[in-house]
Amino acid sequence: MNSPTAENFCNTGNQLKTEKRFDEAIASYQKALQLQPDYAEVHYQLAEIYFVQRKLRDAIAFCNKAIQLQPDFAPNHKILGNILQTQGNLEAALNAYVKALELNPEFAEAYINQGSILSKLGRNEEAIVSLEKAIAINPNIGAAYWNLANVYLQLDNLEKVVECRKQAFSLEPKLVNAETLNDLGTAIGKLGDFEEAINYYHKAIELQPNYHLAHLNLGVALRRISKLDAAKEELQIAIKLKPDDPEAYNNLGSVLVDQNQIDAGIFNYEKALKLKPDSAEYHFNLGTALGQKDKFTESIKELQKAVELQPDLGKAYSNIGAIVYRKTRKDGEISGELFNLAINSLLKALEIDSDLELAHLYLAQLITSPVRASDFGALRQASAIYLERSTEKNHLIAVSTFIGTHVKSALTQLAKEKFLEIEPEIYNRLEKMNNIELSILYSNVLFNLHYLRDDLAANTQLYQAVGKKYAEQIIAAKQITISQPEKKQLPTTNLKIGVMSSHFARHSVGWCSADIITELGKLTPNLYLYFMGDRQPDDRTKIFESAAAKFYRPKAKENGEFDINQIVQDIAQDELDILIELDSSTIPSQVEVIYHQPASVCLSWLGFEAPFTKENNYFLCDWNTHPEGREKYNREQLVRMPDSFVAVGGFKSTPIDTKAVRKSQRIAEDQIIYLCVAPGYKLNPEQIQAQVKILKEVPDSILMYKGHTGDLKVIESAYKTECQAQGVGFQRIKIMSRSASEEEHRQVYQVADIMLDSYPYNGGTHNLEALWFNLPVVTKSGETYLSRMGYSFLKTLSLNECITNSWDEYIEKGIKLGKDQGFRQSIKEKLLQSKQPETLSPLWNPQKFAQDMYKVFEQLLAEKLGNK
């Protein structure tokens, strides 16, 4: 019987090694070496076993001997590289792999290991080349794809990570476990495919039901696809599995806030912070939620803590500004300290990240929508800084903010110059604007345009372009579907009429619409009012409520926002024939509602220019504001009332002793008092110049200026400068203080002799008030709707002699009314006569207006339903 050879013991060792019976394999290899000490293969095999057992000293000894005996055998150098890599000697390991590949350029495993070392050394591009060579040699090695995925993960190339991980899983199922499935789900989720990510998290949980991290990540992914109940359930499981995980509490807080359970969300954010008090994100989330509960001081404190912990957290600075803005809207005022905090925070946010769209929005709103206690100088300074720091991407927002601030300050000339600079840019950028930029352009720039320029063609061209883009990009994109079926036949009973406004209160729209709405309520029992927005009800609101069969007020969510889809559906359920919207682009949410047409016929009226968003909606006007041929300038279809576009039944005033008032102002009884009732944004240099010219030509005349908003220092300076230029004593300008109520304000019409209307934005309510108290009004008529309101009123009253078409005529008419007492008295007599029952003007007859309006609605509905 022959004795076993070294080769026999080597083969036995190889078999035992394959079966992972390593100790028995080592014993067999040792017997082989006793018979043949220089057996190279045995030294290699022992090196591999000792490497697996992490007996690195033995492993390297046998590996070195193998290389000594067989230096041209590539696997010897590969195992040496593996040992050196495990010891942390990366450069030496890399050299070993290079040597192995020099000996065998087709050695796929060596390329894999070389790629791993190159990645650890930060040489990721070379690592990719090495690993791709391994795959080209042998495309069925899962480890190559796995390592390649790790390299792409360092490069943040998640698409490649997912692709390679999936390939590795398909080639080597042993790589699949709960942890790797969870990691793959996370990578997929970061790419935005949350549905697929959720699938992998579920697979991970199937393999390991108590895997806390998979439940956590599943909850986060479910939240991202708005499956909030399921998300909450998974996060609660994660907390049960690991009660000390702050991330689970933080994410559960966010889910609860999304569900409008703000208090519960705050509770969980606070729990997260107890476990991890140095988390900027948790402080940010808590501060944001506290702000939604109007806990402003606590909110700001938490957000400031967030930026203290993470100074580059731009969204926290942004939210500080947003919280202060929210506080101003709630309180109606703002301290200088808070204003500066908000402005500086928003500017800091944009310095960190100029793409923070909401920071642009709140900065623009905070600067351009000042509350009572705001310092106009501070607002202008803030707008100038914002403009100076603006980039190409947010330049239009910054300029619109500058324009709005200067218009409100009565610096319309500066605002106009800036607008003319950016008008070409608006057209050039229109197709590239983001939603925030487009919203500000639609609601702010177009609003201010009417104070800056009376050019029908140019203004409506801009309105058409912006309105169309705004409708397509912002409103239509929401794709609201109304469940209520469209009406096919005319109603056999009274029309169902809805009126929507944010101003059923003490506001110009409210004063001008109340009498007509009251009369409409007498014509149909089906009058529904929709009180939008956050304005608080007042004594005037009760008048509207009493006129309506239904007074609807949508409920805001805890974060203060309104659900437009829900409002549209609620209105649609009322099955209206007619829906009237009173505020147009001044309240974009209402424009959005009528765009989706929750009634058979939808139209805008009264509060502002047409929305310019929907061709088959309507705009209610008259033949004076919109003469024949104006259709080509509008998007909505024009519907003209037979007389004026509005009618009022009168205005109340608190009692007044006109002689006593004159005496208190040191004005003689025979001195002519001109009156300008215009907020700062309706003033401009041409108007002031014309008014001072009138004073100059009418001896001892006085101008009373009264405006409820505007920078009085700027206004005083403008009048003073013009008086000096024309040689008129500035003491002849009386700047009047704001009145406590509209009733008190109306006393001024009974003291004055002549009203000088504003232009290019005429007085609406102010003109009606003046005319009601029999005060002659001089108006300059223009081309656009809002520059023809005075024209419309005077035409309806047959007072053509008070209408002018140029500043020269305006000055001439103002002088004549001041000097010619007979002429002035004749106007007063006509105004008195217009209120007599037998000669009642349509302007003072809301009953007739409502009846005419009702007939118009019946005709529109008949046309809409094809029953002409």
Smallest CA-to-CA distance from 790 within 766, 808, 820 is with 766
pLDDT in tens, 288-328: 999 999 899 999 999 999 999 999 999 999 999 999 888 88
Same topology between domain 312-477 and domain 493-641: no
269-to-241, 249, 750 alpha-carbon distances in Å: 18, 6, 60
User: What is the rounded end-to-end Cα distance, in angstroms, of the chain?
Assistant: 119
| Residue 767 in this model has a pLDDT that exceeds 80 | yes
The C-alpha atoms of residue 672 and residue 841 are separated, in whole angstroms, by 28
**HSE (CB half, 13 Å, CA atoms) of 373?**
11
420-to-293, 392, 459, 576 alpha-carbon distances in Å: 42, 17, 12, 43
| Residue 149 in this model has a pLDDT that exceeds 50 | yes
pLDDT in tens, 641-684: 999 999 999 999 999 999 988 888 889 989 999 999 999 999 99
Quick one: CATH architecture of 493-641? Answer: 3-Layer(aba) Sandwich (3.40)
CB 784 within 8 A of CB 459: yes
Residue 522: band (very low, low, confident or very high) from pLDDT cuts 50, 70, 90: very high
The C-alpha atoms of residue 475 and residue 500 are separated, in whole angstroms, by 18
Q: Which residues lie closer than 8 Å to 197 by C-beta, 6 or more apart? A: 185, 186, 188, 189, 217, 221
> SS3 letters for 656-722?
CCHHHHHHHCCCCCCCCEEEEECCHHHCCHHHHHHHHHHHHHCCCCEEEEECCCCCHHHHHHHHHHH
- Calculate the CA 378 to chain-centre distance: 24
pLDDT of amino acid 153: 81
* Mean pLDDT computed over 757-766: 97
Residue 615: band (very low, low, confident or very high) from pLDDT cuts 50, 70, 90: very high
Domain boundaries defined on the chain: 312-477, 493-641, 658-844
| Residue 560 in this model has a pLDDT that exceeds 80 | no
Token code pair at residue 455: 């050019």
The C-alpha atoms of residue 527 and residue 544 are separated, in whole angstroms, by 10
pLDDT of amino acid 487: 61
Instruction: Give me the chain's average pLDDT, please.
Output: 92
- Calculate the CA 403 to chain-centre distance: 20
pLDDT of amino acid 868: 45
> SS3 letters for 797-815?
CCCHHHEECCHHHHHHHHH
Residue 548: band (very low, low, confident or very high) from pLDDT cuts 50, 70, 90: very high
Total Cβ atoms within 10 A of residue 659? 10
For residue 655, give the H/E element and its range.
Answer: none
Percent of the chain having pLDDT more than 90? 69
Smallest CA-to-CA distance from 671 within 639, 635, 695, 637 is with 695
pLDDT in tens, 710-753: 899 999 999 999 999 999 999 999 999 889 999 999 999 999 99
487-505 burial string, b = 16+ CB within 10 Å, else e? beeebeeebbbbbbbbbbb
> Strand 733-735 to strand 777-780: parallel, antiparallel, or no bridges (unpaired)?
unpaired
Q: Which CATH code for domain 312-477?
A: 1.25.40
pLDDT of amino acid 379: 86
Smallest CA-to-CA distance from 425 within 454, 455, 403 is with 403
User: How much helix, strand and coil, in percent to the nearest 5, is found in the chain?
Assistant: 65, 5, 30
User: 760 preceded by cis ω (within 30°)?
Assistant: yes
Q: Which of 109-113, 513-517, 782-786 has the lowest mean pLDDT?
A: 109-113
pTM to 2 decimal places: 0.77
CATH of the domain spanning 658-844, picked from 3.40.190.10, 3.60.70.12, 2.60.40.10, 3.40.50.2000: 3.40.50.2000
Query: How does DSSP classify residue 585?
Result: G
The C-alpha atoms of residue 406 and residue 182 are separated, in whole angstroms, by 56
Q: Is the dihedral of CA 852, 853, 859, 862 positive or negative?
A: negative
Smallest CA-to-CA distance from 784 within 624, 606, 645, 639 is with 624
Residue 485: band (very low, low, confident or very high) from pLDDT cuts 50, 70, 90: low
